[in-house]
Amino acid sequence: MLPLLAPSGFFFGLPAVHSRNPATSPEMLPDNSPLQFVYTRRNRLTWRYTPQSTAAAVYNRIYSDYWQLWSGRLHCKPVSVCGRGPPGRRSRHKFPALSNSRELAYGVREGRQVIDKLDVRIPCDTPFHPEFSKLYGELHYDSSKSPFHPSRHYLLTADLRKFGHDAILHLSNRWGKYGNHKLELIDTGKSPFSGLLNRIERVFQINPLRTGIMRLDLAVDVPGVAVSWFQNRVKAAHKRFIADFGSATFVEMGKGGIQTLYFGKRPSLYRIYDKHAEYQEQYRKLLRTKSKDSVAPDFETTFGLPDRGVVLTRVERQMGGKIPQFKTVGDLYSLRTFDPFQKLNLVMGGVAEPDPTQYSFMEYCTGMYLRDLAEVRGMHATMDFVKRTSKRNTGWALEKFKDFLPVENSGQTVTSHSLKQLFQRSVARQLAA
């Protein structure tokens, strides 16, 4: 039997939400509850659903965007909204321009970052912090200042930086079973670990160490090494897809043309890009958005680096979905011994100018072709070519043509081990602060 629509706007036959039951009526929820906040703003949101006829329209309307608000209490999965179901996988060629595109859109970052991004999962029944409860109460009565708006995956999304919180709040997931919330922390590299915990506590009344991790980006900055150097030498294990546009693995991302190298696909991938070029793009945006009366600081004051003549490459690992090593924020203390770049192998050790007289004609031609292929398409694509054409005998090929591998520069000390040491020293300082 289908539930009937009551005149008061609630549904009889659904014991979890009943207009005459004080324990489940929306008006009786705590004042600092996120669900209460969404309920009081229900008339200002553009709730939409797929129009249907007869009894199916009533059934689908119950589980439309409006009633996904109560998904955490009804424990039901949402049905099609606006004629479509949950979004599918993102196209492999749609990548963000930077490590955290939201930060470029909203402001300027600075400083060496280790935990570059952190998104945490908040249970749907978690109340707001009392001070934050007062803030959204004020926003509720002044809709002109309210930052909340519907988004693709959440009923409400708001950037809280204008209100003293370095975070973006997402309320009630549309596609999840329980309608949990997400708190997206911004500029995590500029804050000590204790500051990240404080940010979570300022929004929700919850133990931050027990919150689940939805996304974690770990990064390290390598000075004096260009992206092209990594392209010719990096092989990512167990990553079959590499962002290959045309004949090269360089991807010009964004209007600034920032060179970016990808290994893998979302939600787990490696990203190597020109960090100094990103700073320059952020500084140009700062100059465009500043008011006419204000005076913008110079580039070196903002980022701590000269505007010209600096080579700075960021090596970054993005982890999302189920992260076995770090299920909760409290697990991040084990980052001191974690190696996020363990599967990034640097293949090098060749001779600068191989002597043609020391090799056969076929060996010399094959070796020079592999060297040229590594310079054009990158080492990852080269090793994939060797694997496919040598019947998976990559070890034999590396030993036979080792003199034709990329040269290990005498003044360059970047290795897989040095990346690990650099990361662990930086993250130890952030966790101890």
C-alpha separations of 222 from 61, 129, 216, 414 in Å: 54, 39, 20, 8
Q: Do 166 and 186 contact (CB within 8 A), yes or no?
A: yes
Q: How many structural domains compose the chain?
A: 2
Residue 119, sorted as left (phi over 0), alpha (psi -120 to 50) or beta, turns out to be: beta
Angle at 396 between CA 390 and CA 401, to 5 degrees: 95
Distance of alpha carbon 371 from alpha carbon 378, whole angstroms = 9
Does residue 264 form part of some domain?
no
Q: What is the DSSP letter of 215?
A: E
Residue 349, sorted as left (phi over 0), alpha (psi -120 to 50) or beta, turns out to be: left
Residue 187 has a pLDDT of: 85
Last residue of a domain, one of 35, 55, 74: 74
Residue 418 has a pLDDT of: 87
Which of 121, 131, 117, 139 has the alpha carbon at shortest distance from 38? 139
Cis ω for the linkage preceding 267 (within 30 of 0):
yes
pLDDT in tens, the chain (433 residues): 444 444 444 444 433 443 333 334 444 445 555 555 555 554 444 443 333 333 443 344 334 444 444 444 333 333 333 333 344 444 433 434 444 444 333 333 334 558 989 999 999 999 999 999 999 888 877 778 889 999 999 999 999 998 999 999 999 999 888 899 999 998 888 889 999 999 999 999 999 999 999 999 999 998 888 888 888 888 888 766 665 432 233 455 544 445 788 888 888 889 999 988 888 888 888 888 887 788 888 888 888 888 888 889 999 999 998 888 899 999 999 999 999 998 888 888 888 889 999 999 999 999 999 999 988 888 888 888 998 888 888 889 888 998 998 887 756 678 888 888 889 988 988 998 7
Distance of alpha carbon 265 from alpha carbon 96, whole angstroms = 12
Distance of alpha carbon 343 from alpha carbon 349, whole angstroms = 19
Q: Do 124 and 35 contact (CB within 8 A), yes or no?
A: yes
Does residue 353 form part of some domain?
yes
Residue 85 has a pLDDT of: 38
Which of 26, 18, 59 has the alpha carbon at shortest distance from 42? 26
C-alpha separations of 280 from 242, 291, 298 in Å: 26, 19, 11
Range of the domain at 33: 4-74
Residue 333 has a pLDDT of: 93
Distance of alpha carbon 233 from alpha carbon 230, whole angstroms = 5
Residue 375 has a pLDDT of: 87
Distance of alpha carbon 156 from alpha carbon 150, whole angstroms = 4
Does residue 268 form part of some domain?
no
Does residue 137 form part of some domain?
no
C-alpha separations of 249 from 242, 358, 381 in Å: 7, 32, 9
The torsion of the CA quartet 294, 297, 302, 306, rounded to 10 degrees, works out to 150
Q: Residue 339 in 3-state DSSP?
A: coil
C-alpha separations of 308 from 243, 289, 301, 311, 391 in Å: 28, 22, 14, 9, 47
Residue 44 has a pLDDT of: 47
Q: Residue 141 in 3-state DSSP?
A: helix
Residue 16 has a pLDDT of: 40
Tokens of 433: 């602060």
Distance of alpha carbon 120 from alpha carbon 199, whole angstroms = 11
What values do phi and psi take at 317, rounded to 5?
A: -120, 125
Does residue 423 form part of some domain?
no
Distance of alpha carbon 430 from alpha carbon 193, whole angstroms = 6
Distance of alpha carbon 136 from alpha carbon 138, whole angstroms = 5
- Please classify residue 143 by burial: count the beta carbons closer than 10 Å to its beta carbon, then call 0-12 exposed, 13-18 middle and 19+ buried: exposed
Residue 112 has a pLDDT of: 57
Does residue 164 form part of some domain?
no
Last residue of a domain, one of 54, 74, 94: 74
Residue 34 has a pLDDT of: 59
- Close Cβ partners of 204 (under 8 Å, ≥ 6 residues apart): 122, 126, 127, 128, 129, 132, 183
The pTM of this model reads 0.70
Tell me the sheet residues that pair with 262.
Answer: 271
Does residue 50 form part of some domain?
yes
Distance of alpha carbon 160 from alpha carbon 199, whole angstroms = 11
What values do phi and psi take at 386, rounded to 5?
A: -65, -40
Residue 173 has a pLDDT of: 93
Which of 284, 326, 314, 410 has the alpha carbon at shortest distance from 116? 314
Angle between helices 416-432 and 193-203 (to 10 degrees): 50
Does residue 103 form part of some domain?
no
Tell me the sheet residues that pair with 346.
Answer: 234
The helix or strand, by DSSP H or E, that contains position 330, with its residue range, turns out to be none
